[in-house]
Amino acid sequence: MLQVNNLKVQFKTPNGLVGAVKGSSFTLEKGETVGIVGESGSGKSVTSLAIMRLHDPANTLISGEVFFNDTDLLRLSEDDMRDMRGNRIAMIFQEPMTSLNPVLTCGHQVTEAIRLHLGTSKQEAKRRAIELFNEVQLPRPEIIFESYPHQLSGGQKQRIMIAMALSCDPEILIADEPTTALDVTVQKTIIELLQRLKSERTMSLIFISHDLGVVSEIADKVIVMYKGEIVEEARTRDIFSHPKHPYTKGLLACRPSPEHHLKKLPVVADFLEEAGKNGGSIEKIREQYAYKPAEIKERRKALYARQPILRINELCTWFPVGGGLLGKKKDVVKAVNKVSFDVYPGETLGLVGESGCGKSTLGRSILRLIEPTSGNVNFENTDLRMLGKHDMRNVRRDIQIIFQDPYSSLNPRLTVGDSLMEPLQVHQLYENNGKRKKRVLELLERVNLPPEYFNRYPHEFSGGQRQRIVIARALALHPKFIICDESVSALDVSVQAQVLNLLRELQQEFNLTYIFISHDLSVIKHISDRVMVMNKGEIVETGDPDDIYYHPKMEYTKKLIESIPGR
């Protein structure tokens, strides 16, 4: 149905042409699902955009052939390609929030696509859109039709994008990272939805992801891309049981494995370097990094022999919803409701749950970035809720937070050096900017970034590099306690492994204490000494990571574990 022959994509830059895709060839049969995997920058999305002819022709050179049935898409006029695009070949983009227009209702955006391609009336387009919303299992489709994107959850926005892509009954659907940064439960639902829709409509599907676990759930055939080239292609079961290329082995190994207790996660470089030494065996490299059972026991015994550094008692953070007569509060959302727990010095306490369960609100309430409604937050025997603004600012030197999205938490107008120096200036640490700059360069080196990055801006870095910069900024004030709020959820599995390894190294070096917030139980199990499961604002289960994973008591926890891809 689709045949790609020797596809090459080059971008024009001030320093000459840069090859993003270097002669890729593959086929897609009718009703087949092809998974394309690889790290950021491997050429996955560029390949899909080239098939759809969505690159800027002024800055891009594309060569080769892309046959859809007997038509070479690269040779079509722009008008003919516009008729093809969205009508016979559709695409779901990675980030639904930036793909949807924030000033138009969701219904308007879907009906616009239907009317443009099918020429139907406004009423018929609305009827079709609501039909599609039902098909992708959106709740209250009539209300969502009139809603704006910001009023929906990430999973709901992704379903809107799927409905829009399906609106003209395409023969091929390209899904570009459609589940990245979604909860494991929402991710599982989206995968099942795509499988059902593909089967019912006899569509062909190209599913792009950096996560081999996700691809294992949906693809018939897997293509592995590395630095713009296809390095391995095979049926899905063969890729997982007998990976041949060291890069494929690296991608498989760097995702946290529930069966192993590892001091550090393997990274892709381990396999590219070790391929000649031990055949790049996943098990052999994991054995090198494995904890001995006695080491884990000793660590936990030492941790819990000490007094807690943080005590949370009956903490509540409630938000008013709506307004009654004379402005009286009508109802409240109990985002955090009567939560109590302790955290011990040097511990990593994992906090896991779906989006909307209250994890991030709890983290921000501890720091008073959101003011709690009631309860106590005792940090080193000081109740933070009793402190004034000045005293709270001083405490914030000791408690830092790493946010989920490093790009939005860095000022785009400041260089990386200035962003890292700012907390040192605010807290008047070191005598002058010369000494502060020296400290910043040490921090960059500690998170494995070269000193020349000091004068660069956030947009010049990859997601993984930006996350390292945010970690460096959190370390600038020598904190004792760091809250990591979904700090690896949107990263490639390979970059995620590097960041998790870095966090563990820093903990050992500086005796840091972490609350590690995530919706991914396999990541939580890897890094945590203890795990708390949160649902609807309450802690529903707490325990040893192995006990939580293998012997969960609550149905909610079981559902989270069953949703882990490739389990």
Question: Are 62 and 24 within 8 A, CB to CB?
Answer: no
Residue boundaries of the structural domains of the chain: 98-169, 256-290, 399-476
- Could you tell me the pLDDT band of residue 473, with boundaries at 50, 70 and 90? very high
Among 115, 131, 185, which residue's Cα sits nearest to residue 163? Answer: 131
Residue 493: per-residue pLDDT:
83
Among 212, 87, 175, which residue's Cα sits nearest to residue 496? Answer: 212
Angstrom distance (rounded) from CA 166 to CA 351: 36
* Cβ contacts of 500 within 8 Å, gap of 6 or more: 256, 265, 488, 523, 526, 527
* Cβ contacts of 296 within 8 Å, gap of 6 or more: 261
Residue 322: per-residue pLDDT:
62
73 pLDDT exceeds 90? yes
Question: Are 290 and 256 within 8 A, CB to CB?
Answer: no
Angstrom distance (rounded) from CA 81 to CA 87: 10
Q: How many helices (H) and strands (E) does the chain have?
A: 23, 20
Question: Are 548 and 533 within 8 A, CB to CB?
Answer: yes
pLDDT tens, position by position, 10-59: 998 888 888 999 999 999 999 999 999 998 888 998 999 999 999 888 88
The structure tokens listed for 483 are: 């809250």
Helix (H) or strand (E) holding 554, with range, is none
Strand partners, 533: 352, 541
Residue 204: per-residue pLDDT:
94
Pairwise pLDDT comparison (222 vs 181), residue with the higher score = 222
pLDDT tens, position by position, 82-115: 888 888 999 988 777 678 899 999 999 999 988 9
Angstrom distance (rounded) from CA 480 to CA 443: 16
Angstrom distance (rounded) from CA 314 to CA 376: 7
Strand partners, 313: 376
Q: What average pLDDT does the structure give for the chain? A: 89
276 pLDDT exceeds 50? no
pLDDT tens, position by position, 113-158: 889 888 889 999 999 999 999 888 888 899 999 999 888 877 788 8
